[in-house]
Amino acid sequence: MKTIVLYTSSTGSTERYAKDIANKIGGDVLPLKKFKWKNASDYDCFVFGGWVLNGKIQGLDDFLCHYEELNDAKKHILIFSSGLSFPSPEGRKDLINRNILDLYHVRYYQLRGSFDINKLNWRYKLAMKLMIKKVTGDPNSSLDQVAMYSSFLTTPIDYFDYEKVEKIVTVINKLSLEPIDVEVK
């Protein structure tokens, strides 16, 4: 089964996941913007990874605008997101709802990403600094919240969810064993 892993990445965390998944399954990997959709028929499985900003998986809408063509062609579709929050059943459900993934027949995985404010472009860096200033200046913020948000300005977070990557790889490998429905004429 030929697989391609497409991604959007802001600080490199989602790109790292995408490349690791592609490497483990022997698939191709590309930024979503560089993929030529005329080549979609070359692949049996599509994996898309996007980073999360305010509950929205970046690049997902651009990827899902091709959903019907992929689904009609009986392609396997997996989606993952990486973000700063800790993955949880509640967080996963919230991301599914906010990104209306329940309207699509896809497998979805929530992964925790890394974070380094210095890798953000200037707009996101400014927004993050303003948000941190708001939280740390709020008298209702706990000492833990103030310490955590303040640390984002000085201490990069390097996190990689090896276990979740292995789960995605296992699913892709199992899908490759499934027979693809082919209409006989």
In this predicted model, what pLDDT tens digit does every residue of 22-48 receive, in sequence order?
999 999 999 999 999 999 999 999 999
* Mean per-residue pLDDT over the chain, rounded: 92
pLDDT at 1 over 50: yes
**Helices in the chain by DSSP H: which ranges?**
13-25, 60-64, 67-72, 89-98, 122-137, 143-151, 162-177
Q: Per-residue confidence at 182, pLDDT binned at 50, 70, 90?
A: very low
pLDDT score at 179: 59
Q: What percent of the chain has pLDDT over 70?
A: 96
Tens of pLDDT, residues 126-163: 988 898 888 889 999 888 888 877 888 888 888 999 99
Provide mean pLDDT across the span 84-90.
Answer: 89
CB hemisphere CA count around 42 (13 angstroms) = 9
pLDDT score at 68: 96
For residue 173, which phi and psi values (nearest 5 degrees)? Answer: -65, -40
CA distances from 20 to 113, 135, 168 (A): 14, 35, 11
Bridge partner list, 129? none
Q: Which CATH class is domain 3-114+158-177?
A: alpha beta
Q: Per-residue confidence at 185, pLDDT binned at 50, 70, 90?
A: very low
pLDDT score at 14: 97
DSSP, res 66: T
pLDDT at 67 over 80: yes
The domain segmentation of the chain, as residue ranges, is 3-114+158-177, 117-155
